[in-house]
Copies of this chain bind each other. A is one copy, B any other.
């Protein structure tokens, strides 16, 4: 992987910055594009040698090329990142997830057809009604506009693979958490704990099952999956295959928090499920396993690290 030039869309986001740091540590030159003000020193800290704050569209991609050179691999992480936001403003989610991908695919088709594309999708494409480990070949019926747009993104990639020979792989991420994640369950729990509002009351039944993955493992998986990019556009679950309930996560976090802060806190669940929220999303992992990829960070350590990061004042590093 040494001396490769890689581009990351959405570099400024939670997963993007971890991926940039990882690829940079492996010797890649990393250029990024997407939304977000990012002081040069901060971007450099994350291993990003050039950051273009702008939409993913033809003229910006041309500018990125003129500065960073053609990419060997593009990691496409830009896109909508919240089910709730997609329900509130579906057209914005469509633009971020679908139109950005159409722009990127078209640019690659015209200007860099041999670049490998890792176009990052989500377990949200599976939708609800699942009870065990979900294989990639399962029929897709997303629950929310967020999931629908990810599915559409995948289909655009299939079209550009089949019709124009682009080499693409579609990792489907499950519940990614880790330092720098400033939304979703772990963030909400820590924020509520910090505010001192006890007992902790959370939405949902608490029995929702998710496949929790630490971002520091996930970025290694993404880098490995770049090798699998092909015209046949394989999709690959990036999950551990183990489901853990929201309640267990909340209890673990509050226990770690209590140990750090010397206070007993109990967790209560509202019992109301949230719209667009499937009951169970757990990966069937044979395809990922066959690449040789191994998960390194156990859930317990990942959660401990998250609380530690949060309590340090959410500083990066």
Enumerate chain A interface residues (CB-CB to B < 8 A). 87, 90-91, 94, 98-99, 102-103, 106, 109, 142-145, 148-149, 151-152, 155-156, 158-160, 162-164, 276
Contact = CB atoms under 8 A, between A and B. Distances in A.
A-B residue pairs, 8 tightest by C-beta: A148-B159, A91-B106, A152-B152, A94-B102, A145-B159, A145-B163, A152-B155, A148-B155
Count of chain copies: 2
13 contacts: A90-B164, A94-B102, A94-B106, A94-B156, A98-B152, A143-B162, A145-B160, A145-B163, A148-B155, A152-B152, A152-B156, A155-B155, A163-B276
B163 A90 contact: yes
A121 to B, nearest CB: 14
A123 to B, nearest CB: 17
A102 B106 contact: no
B163 A87 contact: yes
A305 B94 CA distance: 44
A260 to B, nearest CB: 40
Contacts of A144: 163
A163 to B, nearest CB: 5
Nearest to A127: B162
A160 B90 contact: yes
Nearest to A152: B152
Contacts of A102: 91, 94, 98
A152 B159 CA distance: 11
Contacts of A145: 159-160, 163
Which of A98, A106, A148, A159: most chain B Cβ within 10 A?
Answer: A159
A27 to B, nearest CB: 34
Contacts of A152: 98, 152, 155-156
A156 B94 CA distance: 9
B142 A151 contact: no
A126 B56 CA distance: 31
Contacts of A163: 87, 90, 144-145, 148, 276
A152 B157 CA distance: 12
Contact of A99 (B99, B148, B149, B160): B99
A151 B98 CA distance: 14
Contacts of A142: 159
A139 to B, nearest CB: 8
A109 B89 CA distance: 10
A205 B311 CA distance: 71
A148 B154 CA distance: 11
B155 A151 contact: yes
A14 to B, nearest CB: 25
Contacts of A99: 99
Nearest to A276: B163
Contacts of A149: 159
Given A90-B164, A149-B159, A152-B152, 19 more contacts: A90-B106, A90-B109, A90-B160, A90-B163, A94-B106, A98-B98, A98-B102, A98-B152, A99-B99, A142-B159, A143-B162, A145-B159, A148-B155, A148-B156, A148-B158, A148-B159, A148-B163, A151-B155, A155-B155
